[in-house]
Chain A
C-alpha cells in the first residue's frame, strides 16, 4: 500500500475551477502552485508555499464559487443588483506534511492553514457542496472534517485500516465516499458506515458520484479509478444491499490521471465522462446508467495530440473538462510548467481524433500577452499583399460570349490584318514627327528586337533596359514594330510587375499598349480576360501617376537642396530613403 501511495503522489495535481472553468490550478514539479487563466491563456498567479519542497502539494480542490454578499444597500435597490458571475476563489491544497492550505485566488495570498489533525500526508481534500466544511483523507488512515469558519477540526474518525487515498462528497452533501483498503460510504450526519464496496486491488485514486439521484431508488451510482488499473469501475448503491461488485466498467489505455464527469439527473440522461490517462490520451464516454453491464465499455471517442514537427511527437494531455455542449471540451496540454489551455469542439462521431498543435509558438505568443495584455497575431512571409493594379484587386473582366461573337463578326467584316494596322501606325507616327528623325538612325530607333529577345530568354536585365527607356519616339517605334507573337508574353510580363516604383518609368509605355490592345482585341477575342488584368494595371497606375509625379517632384527638390548643402553638412541618409 505504501508503494502505491507513492506512485499516486507522483501524479501532479491539476484541477480546473468549477462552473465557468476560468482557472486551471496546477502544482508543478517545482512545488509551486500556478493558476492559469483559461480565457486569456496566461499565467494568472503563482504561489510558492513556504515549505514547497519538503511538504509538497499532493492534492488540490477548488472551493465552491464565491457568492456576492447581500449587503443591506443591495436590498434597497434591487433593480440595480449586479448579475456578476460567481467567481471561483478558494483553493484547498493538501500537503505531504499533513497540513491543508487554503489559498485565496482573489487576494493572491494564503487564506489560512489547517494543521494539527493529520500525522501523515494528506492524500485527498474535498469541499462540502453547501456548507463551509472540508474533508481530508490522509495516510494516517483518518478522515478529518474541518470547519472553515473557525479553522478547527470538527470531527475526526478512523476510516480504514489502510491509508485513505481518495474521498468524494455526494452532490447533496449527505454521503461521503472514502477509499482505503475498500471503498466505504459514510453517512455524514452520523459518521457511520452506510455501505461497503470491494474496491480495487491497488490504491484508489479517483472517486466520483455519477448520478444525483437519491440512494433509495437504486439510482445512485459512483465511479472509481485506481493506480495501475486500466479499468474505471462504476458501482451501484442498491436498496437491497447486494452491491459489493461493480456494475459497469470503462476500459482505458492507461491509468486515469484526470477525470471529469457530467452527472445525470434522470434515467433518460446519459453520464458523460472525460478521462485523461497517464499516457496523455483523452477518452470520452457516454453511457446510460441503468443497471449492470457485463462487457467493459470502450470509449466513444479518443483524442490525442501531436506537434507539427516532421516526425510528430505526441503532446501529453494534462486535463480535460466537458462543456455544457456535448462537443466542446476544454483541454490543458503540454508540460506542467507551462500548460496550454484550449476550448475545442470535438467531432464525437469519429472514434479517434488527432489534434495537431504548435505548442512552442502558442506559448511564445501567450507569454507576451501576460504582461502587456497585447496579443500579436502572426504575420509571416506567406501572407499576400494586394496593391492596386495587381490581379485580384479589381474584379476580373469576363468577356461575355455575346461580345466575342460580335467581335468575330467584326473581324470577318474588316479585312485589315494586324500587319497592315501596325504599318498604318508606323506610317502615321513617322509622318507626324516629320522626316528629320524618321530615317535618321535605323539601329537605335526601336527596341523591338531586343524586347522580343528578352521575352524569349526571360532575361531580366534586357527587359529592364527596354522598360527603362524614356524616349517617346523610341517607345512608339518599339510598340509599332513589335511582332504579334510577342504581345502575349509581354502582357504576362507586365502582370508580374509588382513594384509600384516602376510605374514612373513605365507609365508612358503602358499608354502605348492601349493602341496595341485595341488592335489585338479585334484579332483575338479570347484575349479579353487576359487583357482585363492589364487594363486594371494601367488604370491603377494612371491613377497613381499623379501622386508619383508629385513625389518625384518633391524628391527632386530635396535632392537638389541636399546637393546644394552638401558641402556644409553631411547628407542624411534618411532623405534618400523617401
Chain B
C-alpha cells in the first residue's frame, strides 16, 4: 500500500460473470468472460483468474476471439469502444472508438476486419429500438483509432445477443418477437456450422430445426421437445454433430444431430443455464448460470471445473455480515443458502446449505429462502431465518440457530423454531458480549412483538445439550418494531417501534426509557462504541440522523441527511453514514462525540448504497495521517447496484487508504448541528424562499413549545387545554417575531459565548419538559424570547457549507 495516501474507492470484485456468453480459446486453456468493466481470463483447468483486462469505462457487453489471430480477442463495451487484447499477457493492443454504445457484437471469419455491432437507433428518442451495424475496423498501427465506416445492416433487432447468430454464408438471422401463436416466441438461435440448418429455441420449451432456409419459402422444420419452459441457450458443436441446449431446468442436453431421439443429459448443474458455448476444438463446453457461475464441462458430459462468482439474487435480504471466524463476507446466495465470500481474493469460499431442501428449478414456485442471518461476536452462533411466502396470508417462517462445532469444524443445528413470529421478521441481533456464557438473540417482527431468545439448559435434565428458549416477548403500544440494536457492553437493548425508540434492560426486561423524534419512523439504529457508548444513533424516514445521549435521555444533535445506511465500526468508535443525494451516494465517517466528521466524500458512487459492512483488517495499519486513521483497523466495503440498460450488475468496492483532501467548505453536518439542533433544516427553507407565508408555516414547527409538545412522552403531558393555549400563543407570536428578527438583523456581531449560553438554556429547558409543560401560560413570552434568540443565532450561522453541498 502506498503511504502518502489518498482514500479512494476501489472496485474489489463481485461483478457478474454470466452477463454475456464466455469464450473458450482455441487451445482450450483459457476462458474469457465479460465481468463488469473488465474482461477476465480464467484458466480452464485451475479455475484461477489469470488476467483481468481493464480499460473499458463502461460495462463490457461482448467478448469475441479475433478470427484471424487466435491469440487476440475483441471486447466491446457500452462506452462505445471495441478493444483488441492479447489475452495471454493481458496487454491492450488497440482501441477502436465507434462512438455509440454497443450492446452486443459479432464477427465472422469470412469478413476480415469487419465486425457487426448492435447499437441503439440514433434517431429514436427512446433507446428501445436497436439496429445491427457492420463496422469496418481501420487498419493502422496506432493504439487508438476511430472507426468511421459504418453501414447499417438491419434495424429493429433484439439487443439480446442470443437473438443473432452467424451461419455458413453471409447470412444473419434475426428474430424479434416473431409471435406465432401464444407461446412460440423465439428466445435464441444457432446456426449449424456446415449444413443449411438453423436451430431456434422457443418460450414454450421447444427447439425447432429449420432446414433449406436459403431457398425462399421452401423451408421445412422439425421440432424437438424436452424443456418444460423456455430454452435459454442453444449451441452447435464445431463439427455440427451435436446440439446443446439448456434452460431454467438447469439440465444440459446434448442432442445428436440427425438422430434427435438420442440425447445425453447433464442434470443438477445448480441453477438455470443462461449461456452455452463450446470451445473451437469441441473438447470443452461451458455453461453460465443464473447464480453467477460458469461450469466447464468436458465433451464426455462431465463437469471438470466451476468458476463461481458472488451470487447475488434479486435482493440481498440478509444484509452484509462478516463471519468473525473466517473473516469472510456472508450474505444470502443461492436460494436457501448462505454464501461465504472471501473479499481479499474475490472468490466464493462455499455456500452453506441452510434450508436443506431440494430446490426445484422451475419459475414461479415459491420456495424457502434465507431472509435474515446474524452472527454473534465470537462466531460461535449463527442465527438464520428462512421464509416461504406462498400467499399473502400464509407465511412459513423458521428460525434456526446453529452452533459452530470445533471438533468437526462445521456448523451444527442446535434449535429450530418454527413460526417464531406471526409475521415477517424485520431485524435480528445477538447481544455482543465478551463472555459467551449468556448469549441472547433478539428478533423483531411485523406482528408488533420482539422476542428475546436465550440459550438455556432444558428443564427435564436429559442428555440433551442446551437449546434456545424464548425468554421475553416485548411490545410497545401495538407498534411495529423495525430494527433493534444492542449496546456494545450488552447492557441495553434499543428497539425502534416506528417513531419511538424504546430502550430496555436485557437483564430485567424493564422498559427504561423511550426516545422519539417524531416525523418519520426510525429506520436504522446503532449504539456508539468505546468512548462514545453513551450515544445512540438513529436514522428516520424523514431524512434525519439523530444522536441521543443516553445519560440525559435527550437529543444531543440531529442533522438532516437522507441516510440510507448507518453502520458502526466494531473496532473503533467511528460510524459511517451513506447518504443518498441527487442520484449519487455520499459517505460521511464521524465520531458521535466529535463535531467534525473524520471523513466525507461526495458521490462515492452513483445510485443508492443500502448494503455496507466494516471488515476488520488482519493487521492494523500504522497510518499517521489523521484523515485516514479510521481505516487503520477496518476496511469499509459497500455493495452497489448499477442499473445499466436494465441489467443490474453488482460491484463491490473497498476503501484503501491512499490520500484524502478535506474540503473545508463542506465542513460538515454534525458540527453545525451541535450548534443548530435540527431547526437548521427549516431555516434553510426559510433562507431559500423568502416569502412570508413560507416563513409562517415554518414557524410553528420551529417553535420550542411545539417541540416540547412533540418530544414529551404522552403520559407526562398536561391537559389539552394547556397545550392548546401554548400552541395558539406560539402561532400568534410569529408576526412580532419576524419584526424582532429584522430589528436584530443589525446586531449580528453577538459574541459566540452568549450564543452558547443560550444554547445551554435551551438544553436545560428541554431536559425538563414536564416543568415547562406544567408551567402556566405566562410561559409563552419566555418561549418567544428563546425563539427570538434562536432565530437570531440561526441568521448568523454560516451557510457556506450549504453552498458547498449544492455546488459539488
Contact = CB atoms under 8 A, between A and B. Distances in A.
B670 to A, nearest CB: 28
Contacts of A106: 43, 46, 48, 50
B56 to A, nearest CB: 10
Contacts of A369: 350
Contacts of B415: 383-386
Contact of B270 (A44, A355, A372): A372
A298 B471 CA distance: 50
A373 B306 contact: yes
Interface in B50-79: 50, 52, 54-55
Contacts of A357: 406-409
Given A71-B90, A373-B350, A376-B353, A383 B412 contact: yes
A81 B37 CA distance: 12
Interface stretch (B113-121, B279-287, B340-348): B340-348
B11 A85 contact: no
B472 interface: yes
B344 A386 contact: no
B228 to A, nearest CB: 21
A378 B411 contact: yes
Main secondary structure of the interface of B (DSSP, over half): strand
A270 to B, nearest CB: 17
Given A39-B347, A378-B408, A380-B413, A107 B470 contact: no
Given A82-B11, A357-B409, A358-B408, A71 B349 contact: no
Contact of B54 (A45, A74, A380): A74
A107 B50 contact: yes
Given A82-B10, A324-B618, A107 B418 contact: no
B402 interface: yes
A355 B420 CA distance: 36
Nearest to B57: A77
A73 B91 CA distance: 9
A377 interface: yes
Contacts of A355: 406
B318 to A, nearest CB: 16
A273 to B, nearest CB: 19
A41 B328 CA distance: 14
B411 A388 contact: no
B349 A107 contact: no
Contacts of A396: 470-471
B356 A379 contact: yes
A569 interface: no
A29 B549 CA distance: 65
Interface in A340-399: 340, 342-343, 355-358, 361-362, 365, 369, 371-380, 382-388, 391-396
B350 A358 contact: no
Contacts of A87: 345
A386 B350 contact: no
Contact of B417 (A80, A82, A374, A386): A386
B473 A393 contact: no
Nearest to A44: B46
B342 A39 contact: yes
B416 A385 contact: yes
A509 B308 CA distance: 56
Main secondary structure of the interface of A (DSSP, over half): loop
A382 B350 contact: no
A386 B416 contact: yes
A384 B46 CA distance: 42
A105 interface: yes
Contacts of A378: 405, 408, 410-413
A20 interface: yes
Interface in B332-360: 334, 337, 342, 344-354, 356
A108 interface: yes
Interface string A85-102: 101000000000000000
Interface string A11-55: 000000000101000000000000000011100110000000000
Contact of B470 (A343, A372, A394): A394
A362 to B, nearest CB: 5
Interface string B184-201: 000000000000000000
A391 B417 CA distance: 12
Interface string B530-548: 0000000000000000000
B12 interface: yes
Nearest to B9: A79
A518 interface: no
B619 interface: yes
Nearest to B349: A40
Contacts of A74: 54
A72 interface: yes
B45 A374 contact: no
Contact of B408 (A40, A323, A365, A371): A365
Interface string B461-497: 0001101111111000000000000000000000000
A548 to B, nearest CB: 14
A377 B406 CA distance: 13
Contacts of B467: 383-384, 386, 392
Interface string B384-419: 000000000000000000100111111111111111
B473 A383 contact: no
B451 to A, nearest CB: 7
Interface string B429-472: 00000000000000000000001100010110000110111111
Contact of B351 (A69, A82, A323, A374): A374
A387 B337 CA distance: 23
Contact of B465 (A41, A324, A374, A382): A382
Nearest to A393: B470
A530 B46 CA distance: 62
Interface in A543-569: none
Contacts of B469: 386, 391-392
Nearest to B471: A395
21 contacts: A39-B328, A40-B350, A83-B10, A85-B344, A106-B50, A107-B29, A357-B408, A361-B410, A362-B408, A374-B334, A375-B351, A375-B353, A376-B356, A377-B353, A377-B354, A377-B410, A378-B412, A378-B413, A388-B419, A391-B469, A395-B471
Given A74-B54, A378-B413, A384-B468, 12 more contacts: A39-B347, A84-B346, A105-B46, A106-B50, A107-B43, A361-B408, A374-B350, A375-B351, A378-B412, A382-B465, A386-B418, A395-B452
Question: Which A-B residue pairs are the 7 nearest by beta carbons?
Answer: A392-B469, A108-B46, A377-B411, A383-B413, A384-B467, A108-B45, A361-B408
Interface of B: 8, 10-12, 29, 43, 45-46, 48, 50, 52, 54-55, 89-92, 270, 303, 306, 308, 326, 328, 334, 337, 342, 344-354, 356, 402, 405-420, 451-452, 456, 458-459, 464-465, 467-473, 618-619, 654, 656
Interface of A: 20, 22, 39-41, 44-45, 69, 71-74, 77, 79-85, 87, 105-109, 308, 323-325, 340, 342-343, 355-358, 361-362, 365, 369, 371-380, 382-388, 391-396
